[in-house]
Structure 1
């Protein structure tokens, strides 16, 4: 996948390094030449430019980029301007950093696809979330074990949980399933919130809108995903 990361501070640079190490193509942008030079060997591409200048931003391969992440944290005005500019230039998926509640409201009004809070969330967690097509979210219990939410792969739709034999085959446990329900936010746009289905039961039939809540070692979860045709790194 291809990413543009705007702002190479602590979070943006860590995310860029993680995604690059996973084999993705990353363009890291910052107006500080020292940061651009510092990460040029560990991020696919680094460019010194202002992300609020429409002329230079238009020169980026936005149409060929899967996700744009605005990680600017020091300058709230620059964050909003850059986010609005990439939205105007029709980024396929746009994610921006929230600095405070009012700022988050402004980002929602602009129409970003997702908002992150670096003070609460790690760059590695977001790297995992962004790099796996079926991945929704995760909670890392330790360095090697996680509880993850995964959009149901097509190969599992219509199957009973019991027949998957996840514990026997892969040493992972399906704890529950959930669905994301749609609702309108204060700006009239559709948003989603999770609805837990309860503990997973062997006789439960998996449906095409289910999200699987899986627990296990990261390597075992990846083995399970590969077995159903999901590409992981």
Structure 2
């Protein structure tokens, strides 16, 4: 089973640690704050309060043996750099470091971080994209050139098959999934909706009112 180390349990770190634990993966969670460690202990395999810049302490909790380390101490630039260097010296196969600004990101990349993430910036861009584009529920950048969006099916598409709409030829995007809302009634007689997802729909699949289209396209 893969094992992950999460160093720094702020909002970003604790979210990553919890998400990994929910997937049944082993998580070593580390922070100097007692309360944050207590919260992480509820779901992490190991949760330890220690100074993340202390190489010996990190070795003792098994961080040297993880498959990937997430360095989430972005607010403290010096600590972020030092912990990233320690993780690389440990020989951890994948070191992902959080940065709060481009300069810090460049430094982390220079000292060997395999991947640098900007949670606040990325979330801000994602929110701005959804606010600026009515009908877009979600927006995910998958690379420098491509993004995935979840878009409410336009009324002109409803009642037509994918072949009839011809999305790829007309709009230059690929439809990778359709989310259908299926109406139903719960135990109390109240109306409910369940979601049915068609992955890689064919040209014969029909788009219905209320559907959500999951599209992959090139960023312009």
Unmatched 5+ residue regions in structure 1?
126-140, 151-166, 169-173, 177-197, 201-212, 225-233
Q: Distance in 1 between matches of 2:57 and 2:96?
A: 20
Normalising by structure 1, report the TM-score. 0.55
What is the CA-CA distance between 1:5 and the residue it aligns to? Answer: 0.4
Normalising by structure 2, report the TM-score. 0.58
Q: Distance in 1 between matches of 2:141 and 2:106?
A: 28
Residue 176 of structure 2: aligned partner: 214
- Evaluate the alpha carbon distance shift between residue 147 and residue 81 of structure 1 in structure 2; reply closer, same or farther with a 3 A threshold: closer
- Evaluate the alpha carbon distance shift between residue 49 and residue 216 of structure 1 in structure 2; reply closer, same or farther with a 3 A threshold: farther
What is the CA-CA distance between 1:215 and the residue it aligns to? Answer: 4.1
Residue 29 of structure 1: aligned partner: 30
Instruction: Give the superposed CA RMSD.
Output: 3.3
Q: Give the conservation status (yes or no) of the 8 Å contact 1:94–1:114.
A: yes
Query: The residue matched to 2:120 in structure 1 has which SS?
Result: coil
- The alignment status of 1:86 with 2:83, answered yes or no, reads no
Structure number with larger C-alpha Rg: 2
Residue 40 of structure 1: aligned partner: 41
| 1:147-158 alignment, distance < 5 Å | none
Residue 100 of structure 1: aligned partner: 101
Residue 13 of structure 1: aligned partner: 14
Q: Give the conservation status (yes or no) of the 8 Å contact 1:146–1:216.
A: no
Q: Distance in 2 between matches of 1:216 and 1:64?
A: 41
Unmatched 5+ residue regions in structure 2?
127-135, 144-160, 180-194, 201-220
Deviation by residue 1:173-210 (Cα, 9 ceiling, x = unmatched): x979xxxxxxxxxxxxxxxxxxxxx756xxxxxxxxxx
Residue 180 of structure 1: aligned partner: none
Query: The residue matched to 2:27 in structure 1 has which SS?
Result: strand
Number of aligned positions between the proteins: 151
Q: Distance in 1 between matches of 2:73 and 2:15?
A: 13
Q: Give the conservation status (yes or no) of the 8 Å contact 1:147–1:214.
A: no
